[in-house]
Amino acid sequence: MQIRELSIPDAYEVTPKQHADDRGLFTEWYRFDRLEEAVGHRLDLRQGNLSVSRRGSVRGIHFADIPPSQAKYVMAPYGAVLDFVIDIRVGSPTFGQWDSVLLDDKDRRAIYVAEGLGHCFVALTDDATVSYLVTDTYNPTREHGINPLDADIALEFPVSADELLLSPKDTDAPGLAQARDEGLLPTWEAARAFYASLDDK
């Protein structure tokens, strides 16, 4: 298993080793100890989610209040998605920037998205299936969104604009600047303090 930190601090790409023979293949797609070594603390996983999406479907940009927010370990057991992590932590050196990882059923990569970061993906195939392991249960009163088409963030979708499918919840979400001005976004300081509290456990 190879773990690489992305250009956004506290987000990682995980590439598992696949063992194939004439029966098929086997891989470890999650190892708590290897991820703990990379991020500095153990994940307290509390919920598993699964979504199935048509090609062009966009889900996100989503995030939760910190603390405790919700770290995510995401992979695609079927089909393919381009998965984005967006730094929405006010005061971060990479605030407003993003990175992406192709998640598919060929390389079987995963992405780790720390608490306080924004998360989004676009389905590149029909029936793209995405599995999420998360560190807190869903709490609608603490969940927020940013419009994934926000020009200040400028995500680059490898799907034509007329193919994109978005929910009204996501298109009605504020842009990054509005979310910052309304005090919806986490801060870099709060995120660092929360990560430090996890390191101590």
Which residues are tagged catalytic? Answer: 62, 132
Distance CA 11, CA 72 (A): 10
Alpha-carbon distance of 67 to 64, in angstroms, equals 8
The closest alpha carbon to 176, from 97, 110, 99, belongs to: 97
Closest to 130 in 3D by CA, of 46, 54, 13, 52: 52
Which ranges of the chain would DSSP assign to H, the alpha helix?
32-39, 168-171, 176-181, 188-199
123: tokens are 């389905």
Question: Which string of DSSP letters, residue by residue, matches 36-77?
Answer: HHHHSS-----EEEEEEE-TTBEEEEEEE-TTT---EEEEEE
Nearest 10 degrees: CA dihedral of 162, 102, 7, 196? Answer: 110
In the 8-state DSSP scheme, what is residue 24? E
